[in-house]
Amino acid sequence: MQAMILAAGMGKRLKELTSEATKCMVKVNDVSMIERMLTILEKRNFNKIIIVVGYEGQKLIDYIESLNIKTPIEYVFNTIYNKTNNIYSLYLAKDYLLQDDTLLLESDLIFEEKVLDYLLDNPYPSLALVAKFESWMDGTVMELDDEDSIIAFRTKREFHFEDIPNYFKTVNIYKFSQKFSSTHYVPFLEAYSKALGNNEYYEQVLKVITLLDKPEIKAVRLKDEAWYEIDDIQDLNIAESLFASREEKLKKFQIRYGGYWRYPQMLDFCYLVNPFFPNPKLVDEIKANFERLLCNYPSGLDVNSLLAAKYFGLHKENIIVGNGAAELIKSLMTILTGKIGFAFPTFEEYPNRKSKDDIVAFIPQNSDYSYTADDLISFYQDKDISVLALINPDNPSGNLIKKQDVLRLAEFSKQKGIRFIVDESFVDFADTAEWQSLLEQEILIKYPHMIVVKSISKSYGVPGLRLGVIATGDTELISQMKKDVAIWNINSFGEFYLQICEKYQSDYKKAIEKFKQVRNEYVENLSQIKHLRVIPSHANYLMCEVLTPYSANKLAEDLLNDFNILIKDLSTKKGFDGKQYIRIAVRDEKDNDALVTALKILMK
C-alpha cells in the first residue's frame, strides 16, 4: 500500500504563517504538520509516499528532504495551484491511484497515530474515515445507514442545521483499493473534471459514486480519538491544546477560562454551573424567540435593573445587572478604596482587583479551611480595614456561614464603620432548612453598608448568558456603578431570560432539591476512594485533599490526558501554600460516576 498527501494549497486563512511557507509546514507545538504526518506514516511501512505540491513547492520538498524520512517519496507538481482546488491535485496524481492501494490524506490534518488503524486494520477495501459532526467542523458531511454505507454527501450548499444529528464529517483520510480506483474513482474523476472543471473538491466525485447501486466504498466511524483540521489561527490554537504534551496540556486548557464546548468529548469539572437548570421548557422558550432576540437591541440598564428587581423582590434603585458578576465585581473593586479583608483561599476575582498591600488575609488553620463568623470577627476586630468581603459558601472550600451569623457579621461591620460584601453566588445550593439568600428588601435597607453579589450564571446554569447582580441599600453606590458600566451591558438573550425566569421558579426549586440529593450520593461515592479526602460542601463543587503518594497537579494531568476530564488543581492557589487539594464540580449522575470511576482507576 502507498500513501498520498495533497499539499498544494496556499493556506491563505493562516495569514502571515503561510506567507513564505506551505500550510503543512506550520508548526503545532513546535512540530510541523507535515513532519508529524510523515513520521506517523513512516511507522506503517508504506511502499512509497506521493505528495502533490504546489504553493512554495520546492521549499516544501527541501524541508521534507531535511526530515530524513526513509520511506521513498515521490512528488507531483500542481503548477496552477492558485487557480484550482484539490480535485485537480488528485487528478494530476491519478496514475498513482491505479498502481496500488492508497491511503489518501490532506496535509492540514493533525491526528493521533491510532486514527489510521481504523482504515488499515479494517478488511473492507475502500473506506472513508468519518467523525460525528460537531460545531467546530466545516466542509463536506455525509449521512450513513446502520451498516455504515454512505447514503449521501452534503456540501455546504446542501447543509441543513436541523439535520446535524444525522451528519458525519469526513476526516479527509480515505482508503482506496487499487480496484476501486480503477473501476470507480479515476474514471469518474476524469469525467467530472472534464465536465465541471478543476475548481472543485475531490469529495464531489465520491458524492457521484455513492449514487451508484454498488458504490464499493463505506464509512468507518472514529470514536473519541483526537484529530483536527487546521485552516486558520483559531484551529491552530485549539489543535495546540489538544495535542500538547501531558505536562503542557493542562496549562493550555486552564488558560482558556471556558469555551470548552469546542471540546465535546471533554467533561468539564472545573467550571461551576447548575446541572439541573434551566429546564427544557425554559430553553425551548428562548429557542422560540431566538431570531427576534438576535436581530434586536436589548433594553438599557434601567429596564434590566427593573427586571432583576422584580425577580428578586427588590426595588430597582437597589440593584444593578451585570454582564456576569465579574463585570460588577471589577466596577465595585474600583469604587471601593482602602484595605479589604478576605478569608483565603477564596474566589480570586476580588483580591486580583486590588494591590497586595490593600489585602488583609485571614487563613483558617485547619485542613478543611473552614471558619465561622466568630473567627472573622475575632481576627478583624483590631484590623485596619475599610471593607470586609465574604464569599458564602466560599470558593473553593464550600464553607458556609448561615444566614443569622452573616447578619451578625453585617452588624459587626456596621459597628466598625466599614463596608461588607457578601458574595452569595452559590448559596442556593446550601443544604439548610432555611433559604439562605440575603436578597431581601428589608435586610438591604437595615444594612445599607452591605453589598450582596450574586452570579445568576452559576446558580441558574446559564453561564453563556453572562448574568449577575449586585444589590445594596446604598442607592448612591448603585447609581455610581450604573454610570461606570455600559448602558447595554447585557445582550437581548440575557434580558429575555430575566423577563421569563420568574415563571420557572418552582422548576428551579425542584432542580435545587434534585441537586442536593445528587451531591450527597456523589460525596458518598468519592469518600470510598482511599487516597482522596472529601471536604463537606454547601456549594455545587467539592474540595478534596489529595493524599500521598499522589499530587493534585499529577492527578489533574492524568485525568485530562487519560480520561478527558478537566478538574481544578488548587495547589498553586493562594492560601494553600503548595498543599495538595483539588476542586471538582458537581454534575449530573452520569458525569459524576464517570469521574468517580476515573479516580478509582488512577488512585487504586
Confidence of residue 25 (pLDDT cuts 50, 70, 90): very high
Angle between helices 589-602 and 505-526 (to 10 degrees): 20
Q: Which whole-number Å values give the CA distances from 357 to 338, 475, 552, in the listed order?
A: 10, 29, 29
Q: Give residue 134's pLDDT.
A: 87
Average pLDDT over residues 7-21: 91
In the block, which residue shows the cell 470586609? 388
In the block, which residue shows the cell 508504506? 46
**pLDDT exceeds cutoff 90 at 161:** no
Residues 455-476: tens digit of each pLDDT:
998 899 999 999 999 999 999 9
**CATH class given for the domain over 2-238:** alpha beta
Per-residue cell: 261:
464546548
CA 580, 572, 329 angle in degrees (round to 5)? 120
Residues 586-603: tens digit of each pLDDT:
999 999 999 999 999 999
Q: Which whole-number Å values give the CA distances from 235 to 24, 110, 414, 505, 566, in the listed order?
A: 13, 11, 53, 41, 21
SS (H, E, C) 488-539: CCCCHHHHHHHHHHHHHHHHHHHHHHHHHHHHHHHHHHHCCCCCEEEECCCC
Q: Is 319 left (phi over 0), alpha (psi -120 to 50) or beta?
A: beta
- Amino acid making up residue 266: M
Q: Give residue 455's pLDDT.
A: 95
By C-alpha distance, which of 139, 88, 492 is closest to 303?
Answer: 492
Q: Give residue 265's pLDDT.
A: 87
Q: Give residue 158's pLDDT.
A: 85
481 neighbors 327 (Cβ within 8 angstroms): no
Q: Give residue 486's pLDDT.
A: 92
Residues 270-303: tens digit of each pLDDT:
999 999 999 999 999 999 999 999 999 999 999 9
Residues 237-276: tens digit of each pLDDT:
999 999 999 989 999 999 888 888 888 889 999 999 999 9
Burial of 524 (0-12, 13-18, 19+ CB in 10 A): exposed
Confidence of residue 449 (pLDDT cuts 50, 70, 90): very high
Confidence of residue 194 (pLDDT cuts 50, 70, 90): confident
Q: What is the DSSP letter of 297?
A: P
CA 545, 548, 553 angle in degrees (round to 5)? 65
Distance between CA 65 and CA 116 in Å, rounded?
24
Average pLDDT over residues 536-564: 96
By C-alpha distance, which of 137, 513, 476, 503 is closest to 320?
Answer: 476
**CATH class given for the domain over 260-271+512-602:** alpha beta
Q: Which whole-number Å values give the CA distances from 480 to 314, 337, 451, in the listed order?
A: 18, 14, 14
Confidence of residue 198 (pLDDT cuts 50, 70, 90): confident
Architecture of domain 280-506: 3-Layer(aba) Sandwich (3.40)
Average pLDDT, the chain: 94
Q: What is the residue extent of each domain of the chain?
A: 2-238, 260-271+512-602, 280-506
Distance between CA 494 and CA 327 in Å, rounded?
14
2-238 and 280-506 in the same fold? no
